[in-house]
Structure 1
Amino acid sequence: MKNILYILYSSILFALASTGSFAQEKEPEPQKKIVVKAFAKPGAILLRWAVTDKYAWKYSNQYGFIVERTTVLRDGKPLTSPEKRILFGDTIKPRPPKDWESLVRTNDMAAVAAQAIYGATFQVNNKEENELLQVFYESEELDRRFGFSLFAIDQDFEVAQYAGLGFVDTDVKENEKYLYNIKSAIPEDRMTVEPSGVFISTKDTEALPQPTDFFGYFYENAFVLVWEYDQLLPYYTAYNLERSEDGTAFEKINEVPITKLADTPYSGVSYTDSIPQYGKKYWYRIVGINYFNETSPPSEATALIGFKEIKAEPIFASANITSENQVALEWTFAEEELWKLNKYELLRAKTAIGPYKTVLDSIAPDQKKVTYGPLSNINYFKLKAVGKHQDFKESPPTMVQPVDSIPPNKPEGMKGVIDTLGIVTLQWKKNTELDLKGYTILRAYRKDQEFTKLTKRNLRNETYIDSIDMTSFDKAVYYRLIAEDHRYNESIPSDTLILVKPDRIPPTSPVFKTYEIKNGIVNLSWINSSSDDWASTIVYRRDTSDSIPQPWKKVFETPYSNVTQFADIETIPGKKYAYTLITVDQSKLESEPTPAVVMDIPIQLIKPGVKGLYAKVDREQKLIQLVWNLKAKDAVEIQVYRKSNKEPFTLYQRLDPETNRWIDQRLTANTTYTYAFKPVFKDGSIGTWEEIEVKY
């Protein structure tokens, strides 16, 4: 609720800060400060200011403001000693309650501002306004006073002066330019409020811009006037709306200035005016009001005419087919609305929702019957009653269909799926007949079984959800589709759709037949699953050499039933492996794993390692260079291990078997390192372990 208050008083603060007349930033500062705006006119400088904080406003009502004027230029030249003076002779505060009495009787904004400043409790008893004010009654007391006070003085410069937030300096000269500095008189030990100033002379007059984008339109027996608001907010806080009967003499029609009370996504504002007389032309224009009660040039005028809209709609009473290709339509229309009519139009479409096209125009307002032809297989008609000012009302549609004995076409494109819960989803292509009424679904569980209807009423859409018994022994379900038109003509059935039920029974497991190790290669053979929906057999392997269980890894899969053996050439000597088999059926269901067989791969003989291992220490370059020779051709890598002092060996580097030189730079001074080299070969065997100790 506070937000609505802030919308009211932020309109002035943000508008003030958005012009070049301020020594302020566009974004409000977090500290308490004064914002000021000035307006020059011949013989006077008008000043208007406000504070950005409710507590600053409260204490300002008690202590007031100091308006200091400094004469900076005279005859266009800077003064060597600028002349300073305090205007008003003292602090400027809100006038005492007694001074407000006469103004309050004639000025609603003065009443609101006076009540906000001096009222014991801030309440407004005007029942006509309680819908707006009830929102503010629920907010905090000081928020209400602050928000309504700034809103009221924003609308009336005279009220701003009474509230101690405005001043007119008439002791000015045309050849002088002044710096006005507005300071708070609140003691600094109570509150600090940042001052603000403006540099201006009586020659710095600014022509007020003409309001733009003003237009109006007739809507629901009223005139709606709309114009741009946010764009001119730096200039105008409110507007007067003027109306004319001849386009020359205009009169204000709003009792209070028109302003925007809420922050909306739209930059414009609107006003609704009742129509004094229908059928008569009126002109409207707006005049902007700035912060100093100065008015703008009037906007361009817009002309509007009000008229009585048609309220009743025509209703078809009958639609009789007079021949094979012609229909006689009759309708009714409210007698009291006839004087508003200009004509009728007959509209026709292929579907109830349209689009409709005019097929007969300029039917007389007193006519109640018309004959139309030729007809299509199906026709939808509407009658449009057109008013004298192009307003209109349309009748509800009525369908006309000549004698029809032709059935719809055979439905096509039927397809479907069954999930594991027995839910069947069916879809098909839409028939193109205009008189299509719907579809009927038929189902059977065997080819030779009679199909039965699943729906009592015709389906309107091209989808259907069915459920079937998954526990029955039937492996498939059969569907057909029939289309029907509005004359109950049925198409021939669609092609039969056969859907196979999902398989929920896993296949039986395969069985190992033989298994052996030959030349380091594991050879397996098996007997496939006996399930008739067998799809493939998978071989899994797991390394069981360590105490920590390793995951199963798929090493072979065959979709061919005559392939029942596998040779595993990717084993490592000295390792222990377990093997198991799984069957996968056509529904992707897996069998239980075959009991595992465990195979120990014998260790191969150790092959020769590196030769001529030599180390060279370069303490200036801070490195150790190692050189060796390896003649084996089937090595895949050389593993380098390193340890220091009493620490164990750790794998330190993997090198290409073609490499015969390597440099170690990750060293610590005064440390003894031991390097070990071990080649690894393609068949998984390893070379001899060669070590060398290096003092660094």
Structure 2
Amino acid sequence: MSMETNKIKNMRSVVVLLLSFSIWSQKPIGEDPPSVQVMSRVTKETIMLRWAVTTPTAWKHANKYGFTIERKTIVRAGEILREQEIKKITPTPILPKPIAAWEEFASQNDYAAIAAQAIYGDDFDVELSEGGTDMMSIVNLSQALEQRFSFALYAADQNFEVAKYSGLAYVDTDVKPNEKYLYIIRTAIPEEKMTVAHGGVYRGLVDYIELPTPRDLVGIFKDKSVLLSWNSTSLADYYNNYIIERSDDNGDTFTSLSDVPIINMGEKEEKTTDRMFYIDSLPQNNKEYQYRIKGISPFGETSPSSKVVSGSGKKALAYNPAIKEAKLQSDNSTAIITWEFPEEGLETLSHFELNRSDAIKDNYRVVVSDIAKTTRSIEFKNLSVINYFTITAVGVDGTKRASFPQMVQPVDDTPPITPFGLTGVIDSTGIVQLQWNANTEPDFLGYRVFRANLENEEFTQITFRTISQNTIVDTINIKTLNNKIYYKVQAFDTRYNPSGFSEILELKKPDIIPPTKPVFKSFRADKGIIELHWITSSSVDASKTLVYRKEKGKESSWQLVSETDIPQNRYQDATAIPALTYLYTLVTVDESGLESEPVTPLTISLPDNKSKPEIDRFTAVVNREERQIGINWRYTAKGVKEFLLYKAEEGKQPTRYKIFSNTETKFTDHQLTVNTRYTYLLQAVFDSRAKSPIKKIEVEY
């Protein structure tokens, strides 16, 4: 096959594409167990089969021993056959055609030459260029068998007739429309040589579908060139090659751009795009050309033509305009922009555009379009506070080239509006978050923020530089004597014109120290009312005193019975039940809602002294000889627990003198002074702790 080797060396375009295909798509060879992989295509009357083995060694043995095809009829007239009909399609194994049969075919078909050289050639030395590096070094000196295997399968993929010559394809014409078949393809390699897993495919004429039309063809026309692209990923299961056709007579006739189809590189493992690309050189500019593509399937079928794209090449714009001057006029709102453009670039120029932006780098928009290519000066009115202008040259091919920007700024001594809507919050750690309404002036620069501990003291700037955002976070010390902080904001434009100050914001610092406790001063329990008196908390921010009560000896919770505003310092409890013992405590609440510790509870009982009868009789008899006064009483009320006797000398307050049990009715007093007037008071105390009215007598001794 030496004559075919020369043919391979002349196929630079095919081999270059093949090299790319091999490097991108092939995984390491020989890692997986060898097997037969099968694919199929159904036409209206036939079922076409294509297969290959997965390792170079299996391919080498299969070339010698061949493949067998077995067909099982599974379905007929929509019913699954109980007994499958098995037909051995290949009584003898399918082998590559003998070397003599390849001679004429290889002379006419480049892929046939590659396959024949891979199968039968004495060597496999393929050059990329006349004096360049050989193929073996490009693929990292791979073994010859692996190269033969890769090239042979590639050639079979590109041409179905080559696949048939290589013993890797078969067309079954003995098929019926109402049947479906299972095709099983095995190698005839003896098991002692190696084991190759068989492959299969299940098909019937009912599976026929039309080949899809290539879609989404796009052409981008440039200077004597066009970049064509189309969606290849969606059709990767149908086509591995494409034919590109061009027309220069308005689509009357189309001619293929190459005798060799364009290889589908969509099998690349890590794809960065789902499209294929092709660049064609145009014979001339300013002439319309039409393009269309057709897909070639692995079975040699040609798809319908895609939609036609058309366009003409245009010489690219090669020069940039340059603004010579942007001059502000006396009305302070108009500018005249003057520019220049090389005369040698006029052939490629379509027109100019004037662009304007508030910023030097981006956000330019066209403010005057379709400026004649002969114009070099233009007037622009209604200037903004700050203006950046560029002139864009638009080429006949649609490309654009812009000048460097030029600034025009009217005289401006108008400050931005005074910031408003200043609000803020302080958390318990002293973090202050401030925000306000944002300024919208085109020449707005930013804000400065000021702080003071007192409203009427001098404010200090807390922003080291002007800030553009309308929010700021500040940190303050909350453990200071003053419990408020003050802020104000000022705005500046790009010319540092200052606005007025915002309204001062007063923020109350968070209160983290609870108030001091109140102190019980006195209490009184009488006539159904318990009255409490206390000294209020000394804390400046103390606002309320809470009075809590609970019944002594019970597990019930404390009950809030009064919430009094400071400086009120007393409370009358008219809900207490006589004869019950209560505990009372006080808590102070400040303006932040913080509470003091409760004071030590008071234990108070309300006596039951309502509607008790007076003592029936209370008398005193003086006996100066024996130096005594005899006292007698009588009380018939029930439930009496004891009697209390009070005594006082004339001009003094009575004090409790004696306590008697409920059975005693008399007493003799010996602690006397001659010529003294005594007052005695007697009161009965009941089991309910109620008391009778006091009975009083006066005695001269």
- Shorter-chain TM band: 0.5 to 0.7
Contact 1:317 1:330 in 2 (8 A): yes
Farther-moved stretch of structure 1 (159-168 vs 484-493): 159-168
Contact 2:236 2:266 in 1 (8 A): no
Equivalent in 466, 478, 483 of residue 458 of structure 1: 466
| TM-aligned CA distance change 1:195 to 1:327, over 3 Å | closer
Equivalent in 468, 476, 501 of residue 509 of structure 2: 501
* Structure 2 counterpart SS, 1:303: strand
Equivalent in 200, 213, 217 of residue 214 of structure 1: 217
Structure 1 residue 382 displacement after superposition: 3.4
Deviations 1:438-474 (A, max 9, x none): 2232333223322333445432222233333445434
Structure 1 residue 290 displacement after superposition: 1.3
Structure 1 residue 273 displacement after superposition: 0.7
Amino acid at match of 1:47: L
With the length of structure 2 as denominator, give the TM-score of the two structures.
0.59
* Mapped pair 1:67 → 2:73: no
* Mapped pair 1:307 → 2:311: no
Match of 1:440 in 2: 448
Equivalent in 293, 300, 303 of residue 296 of structure 1: 303
Contact 1:40 1:200 in 2 (8 A): no
* Mapped pair 1:238 → 2:241: yes
Amino acid at match of 2:228: L
* Mapped pair 1:467 → 2:478: no
Match of 1:370 in 2: 378
| TM-aligned CA distance change 1:69 to 1:482, over 3 Å | closer
Structure 1 residue 110 displacement after superposition: 8.5
| TM-aligned CA distance change 1:86 to 1:377, over 3 Å | closer
Equivalent in 309, 329, 335 of residue 327 of structure 1: 335
* Mapped pair 1:282 → 2:289: yes
* Mapped pair 1:531 → 2:539: yes
Match of 2:696 in 1: none
Amino acid at match of 1:284: Y
Equivalent in 40, 43, 46 of residue 48 of structure 2: 46
Match of 1:182 in 2: 184
Length, aligned pairs only: 551
Alpha-carbon distance between aligned partners in 1 of 2:594 and 2:198, rounded to the nearest angstrom: 79
Equivalent in 388, 403, 419 of residue 411 of structure 2: 403
Deviations 1:412-460 (A, max 9, x none): 1122233344333322212233332322323332233223334454322
| TM-aligned CA distance change 1:295 to 1:466, over 3 Å | same
Farther-moved stretch of structure 1 (257-266 vs 401-410): 257-266
Structure 1 residue 284 displacement after superposition: 1.4
Alpha-carbon distance between aligned partners in 2 of 1:37 and 1:541, rounded to the nearest angstrom: 95
Contact 2:351 2:373 in 1 (8 A): yes
Amino acid at match of 2:310: A
Contact 1:61 1:117 in 2 (8 A): no
Match of 1:626 in 2: none
* Structure 2 counterpart SS, 1:323: coil
Match of 2:277 in 1: 271
Alpha-carbon distance between aligned partners in 2 of 1:163 and 1:379, rounded to the nearest angstrom: 73
| TM-aligned CA distance change 1:412 to 1:468, over 3 Å | same
Alpha-carbon distance between aligned partners in 2 of 1:242 and 1:553, rounded to the nearest angstrom: 96
Equivalent in 586, 601, 625 of residue 591 of structure 2: 586
Deviations 1:205-252 (A, max 9, x none): 875443333332347996333334455445333322223333323123
Match of 2:227 in 1: 224
* Mapped pair 1:391 → 2:366: no
Match of 1:647 in 2: none
Structure 2 residues not aligned, in runs of 5+: 1-20, 28-33, 576-581, 605-701
Match of 1:250 in 2: 255
Match of 1:678 in 2: none
Alpha-carbon distance between aligned partners in 1 of 2:310 and 2:482, rounded to the nearest angstrom: 79
Alpha-carbon distance between aligned partners in 1 of 2:136 and 2:446, rounded to the nearest angstrom: 57
Match of 1:19 in 2: none
Amino acid at match of 1:258: N
Contact 1:124 1:133 in 2 (8 A): no
| TM-aligned CA distance change 1:94 to 1:465, over 3 Å | farther
Cα RMSD (Å): 6.3
* Mapped pair 1:196 → 2:227: no
Structure 1 residue 85 displacement after superposition: 5.4
The residue correspondences of 1:579-658 to structure 2 (distance < 5 A) are: 584-589=589-594, 591-592=596-597
Contact 2:444 2:494 in 1 (8 A): yes
Contact 2:223 2:314 in 1 (8 A): no
Match of 2:267 in 1: 261
Identity over aligned pairs, percent: 36
Contact 2:518 2:537 in 1 (8 A): yes
Amino acid at match of 2:486: Y
Contact 1:381 1:397 in 2 (8 A): yes
Structure 1 residue 127 displacement after superposition: 7.7
Match of 2:348 in 1: 340
* Mapped pair 1:89 → 2:91: yes
Structure 1 residue 371 displacement after superposition: 3.0
Deviations 1:498-519 (A, max 9, x none): 223333333334567899999x
Farther-moved stretch of structure 1 (217-226 vs 326-335): 217-226
With the length of structure 1 as denominator, give the TM-score of the two structures.
0.60
Structure 1 residue 182 displacement after superposition: 2.1
Deviations 1:569-597 (A, max 9, x none): 9xxxxxxx999876554345454566689
Structure 1 residue 564 displacement after superposition: 7.8
Structure 1 residue 289 displacement after superposition: 0.9
Contact 1:438 1:484 in 2 (8 A): yes
Alpha-carbon distance between aligned partners in 1 of 2:186 and 2:359, rounded to the nearest angstrom: 75
Contact 2:73 2:85 in 1 (8 A): yes
Deviations 1:386-430 (A, max 9, x none): 222333234455442322333222221122233344333322212
| TM-aligned CA distance change 1:255 to 1:452, over 3 Å | same
Contact 1:8 1:148 in 2 (8 A): no
* Structure 1 counterpart SS, 2:329: strand
Contact 2:211 2:238 in 1 (8 A): yes
Deviations 1:309-330 (A, max 9, x none): 4465444343222212322223
| TM-aligned CA distance change 1:402 to 1:208, over 3 Å | closer
Structure 1 residue 260 displacement after superposition: 1.2
| TM-aligned CA distance change 1:363 to 1:597, over 3 Å | same
Alpha-carbon distance between aligned partners in 2 of 1:193 and 1:542, rounded to the nearest angstrom: 92
Structure 1 residue 566 displacement after superposition: 11
| TM-aligned CA distance change 1:418 to 1:210, over 3 Å | closer
Larger Rg: 2
Structure 1 residue 303 displacement after superposition: 0.8
Alpha-carbon distance between aligned partners in 2 of 1:580 and 1:511, rounded to the nearest angstrom: 10
Alpha-carbon distance between aligned partners in 2 of 1:427 and 1:446, rounded to the nearest angstrom: 20
* Structure 2 counterpart SS, 1:347: strand
Alpha-carbon distance between aligned partners in 2 of 1:95 and 1:563, rounded to the nearest angstrom: 119
Structure 1 residue 147 displacement after superposition: 9.4
Alpha-carbon distance between aligned partners in 1 of 2:392 and 2:135, rounded to the nearest angstrom: 43
* Mapped pair 1:490 → 2:498: yes
The residue correspondences of 1:119-134 to structure 2 (distance < 5 A) are: none
| TM-aligned CA distance change 1:39 to 1:406, over 3 Å | closer
| TM-aligned CA distance change 1:579 to 1:341, over 3 Å | farther
